[in-house]
Amino acid sequence: MQYYAREYGFLNKFQLEEIAEQVHKQTMDIFPLFEFTINEKNYVKILEETRKELINLSTDYIKASLEQRRLIESLREQAIRDTLTKIFNYKGFHDSLEKEMYRARRYNYPVSIILADLDNFKNINDNYGHLAGDHVLRTVAEYLKNPLGNQIS
């Protein structure tokens, strides 16, 4: 302790002990606010417990941040894709089109767009029900998403 007193410019041992006592007193006043009880002056033990708690808090924060990131990505996907077919909705289509048009201009590539319409689709819902109509929409969407154009089974 005398070494630290000289190293940090304390005049004598009594001044160092007085500072240590003040730190202890203030620690005793503050720690109950954090639901932490001190029965001894073992600050190494206190620091070790504090370090462990900080690690736990950091781990919890990282887990929460990763979960929040996953939820944000999920919400972003929900905002640009149709829930039934998982293909782009109006917003997703326009966002993708804007990116592709920018890329085409940048690299001087041609752009092609195919729009499809299911003629008389209302008749499928009216005659066979909405579950059948949903099945048709999902099947057509899967067929259109497949770049090789596999046969509908």
What does the pLDDT look like over 65-86, one tens digit per residue?
999 999 999 999 999 999 999 9
Every domain of the chain and the residues it spans: 82-111, 116-153
Cβ atoms within 10 Å, residue 23: 12
Spatial neighbors of 66 by CB under 8 A, at least 6 apart, are: none
pTM of the model: 0.53
Alpha-carbon distance of 35 to 47, in angstroms, equals 15
Cβ atoms within 10 Å, residue 46: 15
| pLDDT at position 144 over 80 | yes
Alpha-carbon distance of 13 to 4, in angstroms, equals 10
